Amino acid sequence: MVDRSPPPRPDKIPLSSASLALRLAGIGAVVAALAGAFAYVNGTFDPQRLTPKALVDVLEKNNGVHPGFRRNHAKGVCVIGYFESSNEARPYSTAQVFSAARTPVVGRFALPSGNPYAPDNSVPIRSLALRFKQANGQQWRTGMNSMPVFPVGTPEAFYQLQQAQTPDPATGKPNPASVPAFFAAHPETAPFLQWVKTAKPSASYATETYNGINAFYLVNAAGQRQAVRWSVVPVAQDAAGASAPEGADFLEKDLLQRLLKSGPLRWQLSITLAAPVDPTNDASKAWLGERKVLNAGTLVLESTQAQNAGECRDINYDPLVLPSGIEGSDDPLLAARSAAYASSYLRRTHEVEQLPTAKQESPQ
């Protein structure tokens, strides 16, 4: 097997400022890692404007190129466990994951950054990707983040945000006016900006709630479709809200210590049923008011693995890999991700093949 361990760390990586202004100036890099690059399954949004290549290129320009590493969520850790169904979602979906007693899970915690050496307290968002492997061979893959909404509702707006964050070749830094100007021109970003004003880097992956953000449909045996959004909510709240400590690499260490000391970590899979007025095509809008929430079961994570050699290493956590009984919605961001994930995967695979020592992380 090829040695894919990460290359040596830089001697020093400066920490980001705690000020809101600098947070907003760097939000493009954060957002890039949250949703990945976007492109429709056929490979383009508009042949005249936006392609998977253009999106991956702008991510590389903003984050730097780290051969063999994921272009987004470059720093992470594999987790292994299973899902125990409560059967509460069974009337809404024929997906086996909601009726089987136990479904194996391979997941990955990560930071939303294209920099594999980013300090853990550099951004206020954590992510969790999961692959459920059903006994019938079908899979459910999902990527979730610890923010309540996405900043924008369209791939075009996402790309414009990345362009606003692109460094000026003359200075090596983004134009400080570009990102604020983008937000001023996009009022749909207000809910996200309101959240990020008070968001702080957490001290643990284990105490975060991870939100799917995009809408999907559950489909039952009668063919009835119910629009939903889902989240996984931690059972343990012992350190919820704790400020992140100093240092670059505390999250993975905390996760391992918790597993060794207390055993498996648990989250409740909560599925929110949409009301008729709830938008399914705009991840920048929250579903406000009381909604029925299903306790679909319990996610149990038992162990960690190094990301460069663990089971999560070669999994592309494409959210459109869905089993029968779950369908994608009309959200353009959701529908857009598959082709660019594939494009990025092929790019990283080629890099690993070309490296003589191949001492890198394998592709997403």
pLDDT higher than threshold 50 for residue 134? yes
Task: Write down the pLDDT at residue 356.
Answer: 61
Task: Write down the pLDDT at residue 72.
Answer: 78
Which residue of the set 66, 73, 186, 350 is catalytic? Answer: 73
Q: Has 341 been labeled as part of a binding site?
A: yes
Confidence tier at 8 by pLDDT (50, 70, 90): very low
CATH of domain 50-235+246-351: 2.40.180.10
Residues 171-216 have pLDDT tens digits of 888 899 999 999 999 999 999 999 999 999 999 999 999 999 999 9
Average confidence (pLDDT) over 99-115: 94
Residue 325 CA to residue 309 CA, distance in Å, equals 32
From 112-126, 177-191, 328-342, 345-359, the region with the lowest mean pLDDT: 345-359
Tokens for 35, please give them: 């949703």
| Average pLDDT value over all residues in the chain | 82
Higher pLDDT, 345 or 133: 133
Task: Write down the pLDDT at residue 42.
Answer: 36
Residue 213 CA to residue 199 CA, distance in Å, equals 17
Q: Which residues pair with 297 in a beta bridge?
A: 85, 269
pLDDT higher than threshold 60 for residue 24? no
Tokens for 23, please give them: 């947070």
Residues 29-39 have pLDDT tens digits of 444 333 333 33
Average confidence (pLDDT) over 338-357: 66
- Output the CA–CA distances (angstroms, integers) from residue 210 to 73, 205, 230, 269, in the order listed: 15, 10, 9, 10
Residues 6+ apart with CB under 8 A from 289: 275
| Among 37, 254, 53, 24, CA closest to 123 | 24
Asked if 73 is an active-site residue, the reply is: yes
Task: Write down the pLDDT at residue 229.
Answer: 98
Residues 68-95 have pLDDT tens digits of 778 778 899 999 999 999 999 999 999 9
Domain ranges of the chain: 50-235+246-351
| Among 197, 182, 191, 226, CA closest to 211 | 191
pLDDT higher than threshold 70 for residue 21? no
Residues 34-71 have pLDDT tens digits of 333 333 333 344 444 566 676 667 677 777 787 777 87
Residues 275-325 have pLDDT tens digits of 999 999 999 999 999 999 999 999 999 999 998 889 998 888 999 999 999
Residue 67 CA to residue 36 CA, distance in Å, equals 17
pLDDT higher than threshold 60 for residue 143? yes
State percent of the chain over pLDDT 90.
55
